[in-house]
Amino acid sequence: MRYFFEGDISATIAPVLNGIEGRLSWQPQTHLPLHDRIVKAGHALLALKEIEYLGISQSGGVRERLSALLDHLLNPLEKEWCGGHREPDTMGRIKRLRSAILPDIVKGELTEEEIGRRWRQLADLYLAQQLHCYSGDYLNNSPTAERLLETVERYEEDLTDVARPHPPLHVVISVGEAIEAAPTRDRSGDGDPVANELRRGLEKLLEESKSRRRTAVPTL
């Protein structure tokens, strides 16, 4: 499914950014171009998490900073629960940790102190999952209105746990070829072969769907 935004992107995003900037105790950054305003808010949100977990905002590119913060969150948990870093991708690491931490909570046989400790670990895994959704270069090279909107919506949802719709949107639904899945997983390769094939198929469908836009891309 691919969504195309068909409204006024500046008018739609501005109120959401006003709210985010207010949470940061900023004056509305309306003097900046929309793209720069979104990027500036993202840098601030990342810096806040770096200060919370690392004690100080980090230098360098966003991609490197995200990777460093992810490893800071996941490495100690993997050492405790999994004997170290084993899964090849971030979501695999998170899933493996959740499957190790959660079962004893469900059984209800832990002390209150231990339950609290594990819930804090699960909260860190949730943050890691949120960070994983940011690539660091998603808004490079003249991003589309959809990418701008998606990024601001993600900021808002990560801050408030509320995802508000921002119409008007047009959706294109594409169906790919069936993928044959073996009954057992081959762990000798790089990652899950079914997931890899699914990723390739989705990328192809997304590329083909670009021609299905009904309106001109807004000029920012």
Q: Pick the more confident residue, 35 or 220.
A: 35
Report yes or no: 18 and 187 within 8 Å, Cβ to Cβ. Answer: no
pLDDT tens track for 174-186: 999 898 888 877 6
- The share of the chain scoring above pLDDT 70, in percent, equals 95
pLDDT tens track for 141-176: 889 999 999 999 999 999 999 989 999 999 999 999
DSSP 132-171: HT--S-TT-SS--HHHHHHHHHHHHHHHHS-------EEE
Instruction: Output the pTM of the full model.
Output: 0.84
Q: For residue 139, name the pLDDT band (cuts at 50, 70, 90).
A: very high
Mean pLDDT of the chain: 92
> So what's the pLDDT on residue 217?
56
Distance between CA 55 and CA 60 in Å, rounded?
A: 16
> So what's the pLDDT on residue 187?
66
